[in-house]
Structure 1
Amino acid sequence: MKKHFKYIVLSVLVIGASSCKKYLDVNTNPNSLTAATPNLVLPQAIVGAATIASNTNINFADFSGARANAGGFGGFGVTVTYDFGNLAYQGVWLDSYDNANDFQYVIDNTSADATLIFSTSIGRIMKSLTFERLVNQFNDVPYSEALKGAGNFTPKYDKGEDVYKGCIADLDKAIKDIQTGISAATTIAITKAGDPLFGGDMNRWLKFANTVRLRMLIKMAGVPALQAYTTTAFAATVNSIGFLVDDALVNPGYEKVNKPSPIYNSIGFGTDGSNTTTSRIPTRWIYSFYSGSKLTDPGRGEVIYRGFPSSIINQLGDESAGVAPASADGSAWITGDKNGTYLGVVKGPTQGTVLILAAESNFLQAEAYARGYLTGVASTAFNEGIKQSFKYLYKTVDNTVDPTKDVDADVATYLSDNSGSYLVNFALAATPDQKIEAIITQKYIALNMINNDEAFSEFRRTTYPKIVNGSSDPIQTFASKQSASTHIDKLPTRVLYPAQEFSLNKANVPTGINKFGSLIFWDLN
């Protein structure tokens, strides 16, 4: 939303700059600011958050090992060397702060009215989700002094862990306030039209907030200096709320011609029916989790990949003459033609946009139980995570499981086909490390081309799925063949602050950041 409450540190030089197309933007004239009410801002901000999530997923597909360069093209440059500069990935920064300002606007204009407590709480939850993403990629970011409009043009940078703590405090308040609002007869309900994520169902918002909170706490808990904080925070978890049991999908009413789903428009087909992804194909690494090289998974493989089990694949950075070009019929991640709807990652132009999968929710719970952070049965949550992954990929564009697919039967086949692997059969995981490896590996598989940024963050945090550092074997590592990284795994460790920050907030932006050595606070590797 291009409004005067944009992240002010970017100043008037970049007001209006955003790669995120917001389909519910209330400003129809970009040259004339108009008044906006929170009930108009909130739904478009949620849609904006979904678009940013989709864009970030695609932006990090090369880092995460999900995607490689196709043949027939040259000059991939920093895509395959990782030697990017301060202009790369700045869209994540610009769009996220733009989006956070929208949520702050909602908070500022509703928090004084107890009847609008649901709107305020949703603003807090979504703002926390936005800052979680920023920290996961940039570490220290402006937070406590940001989003204040003309009150502060040069906000200080807060430590990543302090931003996380602030977000968790907001999530705790949102959870408490929603519970209060549900009990109060005077609370103004959120309409279905005003909530493109959960249709005004505040119980689902509670589960969503609890899941985001769990995800942040798990990342923090591995840091020794933060364990006293996380122990207290885990103990304060409101277990009666529960966590996400279905996929958190944003859908404002996407349509093929005027406002297609972002993921469809990115790796499916354009509104004119053109193939939008002609220079990218899956990596040999990621394909090995489906093809039998590592694990056997034809159920999910055939709905994700065009031509499975003979899809066109490559190793990132291999630009030799023998690399095959991408399919001319459509991207590798769409299994039909431009006139149909499909299963898998790309389902059709009207599909919802994923914020958090139910599969991820279950794998988060499995890790919390396995590490003793919360009380529960890790194997049960683990198995449900696998099932939920199959279930999402087997859904059609209308978010119902295709009647020709049997989720339970195919999950059983998956377990049987990989009967000797503890990465699939949790009971075979004999040590605590093997249990965590199994959980993170299955989460990584479930997030493939859906939330690649989170898949990469979890690899950075845990080093799972396992790779062989320094190997050139495309099945043993997903590091680029042309990597310039000096890190032991030959991968980037983070992205860089955008160039604008060094011009507009020079006194505060951290210096000496190295994309191959500077770590996010939760990365101890």
Structure 2
Amino acid sequence: MKAIYNKAFALGLVLMMSCTSDFNELNQRPGAVTADEASGRYFLTNPQFNLFAPNRYPYWRGPLIHGDRYAGHFCFGFEGSWWTDELGYAYHGEYTNATWDWLESYLRDLDNYLDLTATGGDFENEKMHAVGLILKGLYYQKYTDIFGEIPYKQAGNPDIITPKFDTQKDIYVGILDQLDEAMTLIGEATNTGNAIEDLADNDLYYGGDLQRWKRLANTLKLRIALRAYGASGADFANGAITEALANPLIETQDESALLIKDQVISQWGSAAYGDVWHNFGLGSNWTVSKTLIDYLRDNNDPRLGKYAVPADGGTFTIPKPENGAEQKALDLMLTNLDDAGVPYTTSEVEVDGETKIEVVMPENIHYVGQPSRLNLTSYYFANYSFFSKPAEIITKAKNSGEIFPELILTSAEAYFLRAEAAVRGFGGGDANTLYQEGIRQGMLLWEVAEEDITEFLINSAIATLSGTTDDMLEQISVQRWIADYTDGFEAWAVVRKSGYPADVADGVDDSDIYGYGEINGVYPQRMRYGSNARNTNGTNLDEAISRQGPDQQDIPLWFTK
């Protein structure tokens, strides 16, 4: 990762000097930039970072409030948080709209790049165009997997103001076709051209390396085909899986698609977790979930200290229960400490004339995850000091050191996809070997030492596939979910498709202590459409809803059925 971060720093300087100054000069002195200096490469950067690191408004409300929490990775709902952990499970119009509006409006910049680089475009370049088609595949896969049916075939057409919504099946097929087109256009080329025609450092993912883009396209093809596999009418999936396995996939850390966090850009240009964590105090912070911490801690996974920090612990007070629901909430907190092997004591104390429960536990030693979806009753018993928080590299403020990058598609996921395909009978290698390499690649991404990886693979029971086909698919899905940490929308899709981890997918079933939201405690299957879809395209939206089902968060999407 050190080499990646050093490259990112240099890249940031290049972008500031080349992109920003060029655009400023072009805007202020239109005649200052000649045709020989103009290129489509200057129109790629914005679509790249806006898809995975938009400005703080949608970044906070989309990937963090919804994606990371639906994934079962992060939690709100501790005492001092602005919200209970029911947020998101209970529909919130503003936050839903922020997510919808971000993704709906995203297409403009990408379509502009595609138009400019298409045949007959102002900056015609078929290799640059191929890169745009792959980025378009990443975009639509994310967009449809969050909401379901969305405008696709007619989207971006300037002659169609109210585009029709397309089924997920049709969108998946369309994405696969465009990925194939992109890979054909790239062929054996290694870059998009010479001098000004080379994407080079304006390409934030791969620095203009087309063969890595081609591997990304093929790995995305495998992801989409396996996600469609088993869904109604997905007769295209088998062939796409077989084709993808027969061609180069992402295999190494260097081939992983990552978006290095920009240390300079304003949070209103491109945000990081730290732009939320450090700007508002305790109320906007979050903790790491019990399910994730338990998997890591109980299996001696060396990523534990990379993903999270120990609970603050110390001495603090929580309310004395006054009814059965509150007693359940207290019992939940203390049982959670027991599960984590934390020694603690409790006693009654008087605080300002009120009887409280004083808890004493070791400071900064034990990893303790927070139970997800806590309601208002549990909120007051869920003291912030009980729980582990994300590691500093995740929440670090800009200009204060390394920040973990955004995950686009990694070598770890590529190996887990191949392992799943092997278990399902598609061949492509030995399932267990591929599974273990997926674990290894996931750990390398977080700079786990080689000797610690080897020890885990040798000694951990979960590091070897075993049991029935379903048992092995569960192991693969859980490890993929762990490797998707900080990529909440993708991890959420993994849970919805596989049903694992079961502790996440099964939802909650005790309304005394958990927030049911508007979906009766079940696991969310999609986000509701934004108000803008209703206000500007209501007729076509209604047609989509008539096919897909009511606009509710508990309606399963096509790929999960």
TM-score exceeds 0.5: yes
Q: Which runs of 5+ in 1 are unaligned?
A: 1-21, 342-346, 395-404
- The 5-angstrom pairing of residues 42-191 of structure 1 reads 42-52=44-54, 56-58=62-64, 59-73=66-80, 76=83, 79-80=86-87, 82-112=89-119, 116-149=125-158, 151-179=159-187, 181=189, 189-191=197-199
- The 5-angstrom pairing of residues 55-454 of structure 1 reads 56-58=62-64, 59-73=66-80, 76=83, 79-80=86-87, 82-112=89-119, 116-149=125-158, 151-179=159-187, 181=189, 189-226=197-234, 228-237=235-244, 239-246=246-253, 247-251=256-260, 253-255=262-264, 262-266=271-275, 269=278, 278-292=284-298, 295-297=299-301, 299-307=302-310, 310-311=366-367, 313-315=369-371, 316-319=373-376, 320=378, 321-325=380-384, 332-334=390-392, 348=401, 351-394=404-447, 406-407=449-450, 409-419=451-461, 423-426=462-465, 429-448=466-485, 450-454=486-490
**Rounded Cα–Cα distance in structure 1 between residues aligned with 2:82 and 2:273:** 26
Residue identity opposite 2:263 in structure 1: Y
Q: CA deviation at 1:256?
A: 8.1
Whether the aligned pair in 2 keeps the contact of 1:142 and 1:156 (CA below 8 Å) is: yes
Provide TM-score, normalisation by structure 1: 0.78
Q: CA deviation at 1:133?
A: 0.6
Whether the aligned pair in 1 keeps the contact of 2:125 and 2:192 (CA below 8 Å) is: no
Q: CA deviation at 1:182?
A: 5.1
Residue identity opposite 1:334 in structure 2: E
Residue identity opposite 2:293 in structure 1: Y
Identical-residue share of aligned pairs (%): 19
**Rounded Cα–Cα distance in structure 2 between residues aligned with 1:64 and 1:483:** 16
Residue in structure 2 matched with residue 39 of structure 1 by the alignment: 41
Whether the aligned pair in 1 keeps the contact of 2:264 and 2:398 (CA below 8 Å) is: no
Distance 1:275 1:430, change over 3 A: same
Deviates most, 247-256 or 438-447: 247-256
Does residue 517 of structure 1 match 2:554?
A: yes
Secondary structure of 1:413's partner? helix
Whether the aligned pair in 1 keeps the contact of 2:406 and 2:487 (CA below 8 Å) is: no
Provide TM-score, normalisation by structure 2: 0.73
Secondary structure of 1:296's partner? coil
Distance 1:231 1:291, change over 3 A: closer
Whether the aligned pair in 1 keeps the contact of 2:294 and 2:369 (CA below 8 Å) is: no
**Rounded Cα–Cα distance in structure 2 between residues aligned with 1:310 and 1:473:** 27
Residue identity opposite 2:441 in structure 1: Q
Q: CA deviation at 1:219?
A: 0.7
Does residue 483 of structure 1 match 2:516?
A: yes
Whether the aligned pair in 2 keeps the contact of 1:278 and 1:326 (CA below 8 Å) is: no
Does residue 495 of structure 1 match 2:534?
A: no
Q: CA deviation at 1:260?
A: 9.7
**Rounded Cα–Cα distance in structure 2 between residues aligned with 1:123 and 1:337:** 30
Secondary structure of 2:111's partner? helix
Distance 1:256 1:303, change over 3 A: farther
Q: Which runs of 5+ in 2 are unaligned?
A: 1-14, 312-364
Secondary structure of 2:540's partner? coil
**Rounded Cα–Cα distance in structure 1 between residues aligned with 2:232 and 2:395:** 51
Q: CA deviation at 1:87?
A: 3.8
Deviates most, 279-288 or 234-243: 234-243
Residue identity opposite 1:438 in structure 2: Q
Which has more helix, going by share of residues?
2
Whether the aligned pair in 1 keeps the contact of 2:393 and 2:403 (CA below 8 Å) is: no
Q: CA deviation at 1:291?
A: 2.0
Residue in structure 2 matched with residue 506 of structure 1 by the alignment: 538
Residue in structure 1 matched with residue 495 of structure 2 by the alignment: 459
Residue in structure 2 matched with residue 401 of structure 1 by the alignment: none
**Rounded Cα–Cα distance in structure 2 between residues aligned with 1:472 and 1:424:** 31
Deviates most, 120-129 or 458-467: 458-467
Q: CA deviation at 1:258?
A: 7.8
Structural RMSD (CA): 3.8
1:237-266 per-position Cα deviation (integer Å, ceiling 9, x unaligned): 373423352221123753388899743425
Whether the aligned pair in 2 keeps the contact of 1:261 and 1:353 (CA below 8 Å) is: no
**Rounded Cα–Cα distance in structure 1 between residues aligned with 2:125 and 2:210:** 13
Count of aligned positions: 465
**Rounded Cα–Cα distance in structure 2 between residues aligned with 1:80 and 1:497:** 17
1:20-77 per-position Cα deviation (integer Å, ceiling 9, x unaligned): xx99789879x99x99963221122112223149664423122111122253336625
Q: CA deviation at 1:312?
A: 5.5
Distance 1:338 1:163, change over 3 A: closer
Secondary structure of 1:88's partner? helix
Whether the aligned pair in 1 keeps the contact of 2:527 and 2:553 (CA below 8 Å) is: no
Decide which structure has the larger Cα Rg and report it: 2
**Rounded Cα–Cα distance in structure 2 between residues aligned with 1:480 and 1:51:** 34
Q: CA deviation at 1:492?
A: 1.4
1:120-156 per-position Cα deviation (integer Å, ceiling 9, x unaligned): 001100011101011101111001111113x111000
Residue identity opposite 2:497 in structure 1: R
Whether the aligned pair in 2 keeps the contact of 1:125 and 1:171 (CA below 8 Å) is: yes
**Rounded Cα–Cα distance in structure 1 between residues aligned with 2:296 and 2:192:** 50
**Rounded Cα–Cα distance in structure 1 between residues aligned with 2:553 and 2:193:** 54
Whether the aligned pair in 1 keeps the contact of 2:261 and 2:272 (CA below 8 Å) is: no
Q: CA deviation at 1:101?
A: 2.2
Secondary structure of 1:243's partner? coil
Q: CA deviation at 1:112?
A: 0.8
Distance 1:262 1:333, change over 3 A: farther
Whether the aligned pair in 1 keeps the contact of 2:277 and 2:285 (CA below 8 Å) is: no
Distance 1:413 1:284, change over 3 A: same
Whether the aligned pair in 1 keeps the contact of 2:75 and 2:370 (CA below 8 Å) is: yes
**Rounded Cα–Cα distance in structure 2 between residues aligned with 1:109 and 1:208:** 23
Q: CA deviation at 1:108?
A: 1.5
**Rounded Cα–Cα distance in structure 2 between residues aligned with 1:187 and 1:71:** 54
Distance 1:201 1:380, change over 3 A: same
Whether the aligned pair in 1 keeps the contact of 2:274 and 2:397 (CA below 8 Å) is: no
Secondary structure of 2:51's partner? helix
Residue identity opposite 2:478 in structure 1: T
Residue identity opposite 2:523 in structure 1: L
Distance 1:161 1:302, change over 3 A: same
